[in-house]
């Protein structure tokens, strides 16, 4: 066999994701807060960048250290560690040094309720470790405070908490393990019949279960905290027409610093020139990317407003079904672009403040599932307490009043998703 070196010329087509393109995609997905933080970092690193609304400092400002300390808000607020910090401190007490990296990955893979979002097999594959080792580390983490953390679901979290109690929890564990769905539906008589145990014992076990925390991370969950959201866009009505206005206050305006731009022109052929030229191009690219981001979000919001006039006029019961693909087709974009551009972006409308993703949902007869749920909730709110509407009756009302041909099972699913109990449990005696 003859081995040798050959030089061949080939022509291929392929898509190359440059760092600038990758960053542009990331910028499109940034929320207003993340965008502002990113801009602050760029302003600190790039001398060619400057704020358009930059103001001169007043000579009358007191810069004394004592004044800063006295007026620092953090001096009056007790720091509360978040869930990850709280768990990470405990990891050192239960894990060996060579297990810490894997343990940190596990607690970093928890959702807002404290449940593990990845399987032990996938974690083991990622770290090239054995499944037994991952399961061993996971078991130790699940008994940290709060107990039940990193469980796969509510049932497992409750079983872990019961196991950690210094009590006889055999009956309670059996109820959670074998009759969890009945427990959720409060079918206590059915549970008593199946267990063939006396009422006092069964109810004692159920009351013990009620003291447990089905969502271990709830004490550290910030979902219920008051959040102040600055809308990215505002919808205003003008003579029967709805206009979309970009909220310029949500993102700082940028400009090229005139001092360093002048220095760039005066130092051609030097190292200073090469450095400033790179920063100048970076600044221009950032400004163009921000403008492209603003224009993309604006076009998507404009398309949403055009399709949702009934919602803007009459409220949530008239929200039309709409998908990202439909908006992408209207604007000539890719669906993934619409998805990125609507992540954590908010639209202020006459009906309230909504995330852009709120407007994308499936439905029936061009009516969104959100609207159907609102109609069901409205019917139930106005029902007679002695004669609550059954799922079948709700189905008939939707068909008569809104021409919605839904199955009883679909109506029941929507009712359960809203946390509304069945008609039997809603019935109140006269």
Tens place of pLDDT per residue across the chain (430 aa): 555 566 777 776 655 556 677 777 888 888 888 888 889 999 999 999 998 764 443 334 343 434 444 444 444 344 456 788 888 888 888 888 889 899 999 998 898 889 998 899 999 998 999 999 999 999 999 999 889 999 999 999 999 999 888 778 889 999 999 999 888 888 888 888 888 888 888 888 888 898 898 998 887 765 455 557 788 999 998 888 899 998 877 677 888 999 999 998 888 888 889 999 999 999 999 999 999 999 999 999 999 999 999 899 988 888 888 888 889 999 998 888 898 899 889 999 998 888 898 888 777 777 788 888 888 888 888 888 888 889 888 888 888 888 888 888 888 888 888 888 888 888 876 5
DSSP 251-304: S--EEE-HHHHHHHHHTTTSHHHHHHHHHHHHHHHHHHHHHHHHHHHHHHHHHH
Strands 49-51, 254-256: pairing is: antiparallel
- Residue 35 and residue 28: Cα distance in Å, rounded? 9
- Residue 299 and residue 241: Cα distance in Å, rounded? 16
User: For position 66, what pLDDT does the model report?
Assistant: 44
- Residue 404 and residue 389: Cα distance in Å, rounded? 17
Strands 367-368, 363-364: pairing is: antiparallel
Judged by DSSP in three states, 167 sits in: coil
User: For position 97, what pLDDT does the model report?
Assistant: 86
- Residue 49 and residue 281: Cα distance in Å, rounded? 10
32: Cβ–Cβ under 8 A, 6 or more apart, which residues?
230, 232, 250, 251, 344, 345
- Residue 413 and residue 320: Cα distance in Å, rounded? 20
16: Cβ–Cβ under 8 A, 6 or more apart, which residues?
none
User: For position 152, what pLDDT does the model report?
Assistant: 92
188: Cβ–Cβ under 8 A, 6 or more apart, which residues?
182, 202, 203, 206
What is the torsional sign of CA 329, 333, 337, 341? Answer: negative
216: Cβ–Cβ under 8 A, 6 or more apart, which residues?
113, 114, 146, 147, 148, 149, 151, 157
User: For position 296, what pLDDT does the model report?
Assistant: 93
Q: Dig out the tokens for 106 from the structure.
A: 């596990």
Q: Dig out the tokens for 384 from the structure.
A: 């007679």
User: For position 244, what pLDDT does the model report?
Assistant: 92
What is the torsional sign of CA 400, 406, 408, 410? Answer: negative
How many residues in total does the chain contain? 430
* Helix, strand, coil percentages for the chain (3-state, nearest 5): 55, 10, 35
203: Cβ–Cβ under 8 A, 6 or more apart, which residues?
188
């Amino acid at each position: 066999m003859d081995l040798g070196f050959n030089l061949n010329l080939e022509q291929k087509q392929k898509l190359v994701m440059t760092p600038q393109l990758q960053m542009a995609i990331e910028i499109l997905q940034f929320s207003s807060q993340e965008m502002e933080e990113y801009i602050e970092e760029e302003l600190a690193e790039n001398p060619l960048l400057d704020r358009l609304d930059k103001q001169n400092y007043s000579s009358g400002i007191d810069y004394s250290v004592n004044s800063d300390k006295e007026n620092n808000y953090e001096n009056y607020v007790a720091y509360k560690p978040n869930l990850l910090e709280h768990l990470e401190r405990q990891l050192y007490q239960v894990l060996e040094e060579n297990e810490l990296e894997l343990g940190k990955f596990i607690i970093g893979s928890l959702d807002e309720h404290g449940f593990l979002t990845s399987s032990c097999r996938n974690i083991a594959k990622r770290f090239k470790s054995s499944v037994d080792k991952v399961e061993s580390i996971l078991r130790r983490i699940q008994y940290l405070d709060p107990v039940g953390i990193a469980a796969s679901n509510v049932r497992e979290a409750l079983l872990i908490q019961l196991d950690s109690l210094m009590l006889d929890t055999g009956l309670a564990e059996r109820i959670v393990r074998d009759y969890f769905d009945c427990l959720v539906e409060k079918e206590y008589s059915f549970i008593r019949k199946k267990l063939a145990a006396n009422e006092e014992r069964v109810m004692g076990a159920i009351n013990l279960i009620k003291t447990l925390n089905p969502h271990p991370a709830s004490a550290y969950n910030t979902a219920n905290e008051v959040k102040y959201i600055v809308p990215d866009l505002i919808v205003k009505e003008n003579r029967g027409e709805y206009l979309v206005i970009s909220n310029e206050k949500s993102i700082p305006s940028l400009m090229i610093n005139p001092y360093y731009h002048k220095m760039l022109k005066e130092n051609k052929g030097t190292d200073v020139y090469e450095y400033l030229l790179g920063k100048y191009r970076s600044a221009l690219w950032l400004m163009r990317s921000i403008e492209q981001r603003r224009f993309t979000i604006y076009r998507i919001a404009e398309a949403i407003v055009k399709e949702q006039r009934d919602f803007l006029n009459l409220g949530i019961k008239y929200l039309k079904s709409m998908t990202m693909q439909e908006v992408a087709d209207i604007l000539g974009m890719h669906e993934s672009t619409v998805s990125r551009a609507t992540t954590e972006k908010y639209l202020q409308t006459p009906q309230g403040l909504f995330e852009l993703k709120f407007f994308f949902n499936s439905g029936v007869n061009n009516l969104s599932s959100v609207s159907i749920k609102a109609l069901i909730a409205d019917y139930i709110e106005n029902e007679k307490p002695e004669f609550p509407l059954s799922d079948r009756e709700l189905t008939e009302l939707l068909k008569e009043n809104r021409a919605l041909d839904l199955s009883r099972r679909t109506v029941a699913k929507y009712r359960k998703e809203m946390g509304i109990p069945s008609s039997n449990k809603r019935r109140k005696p006269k």
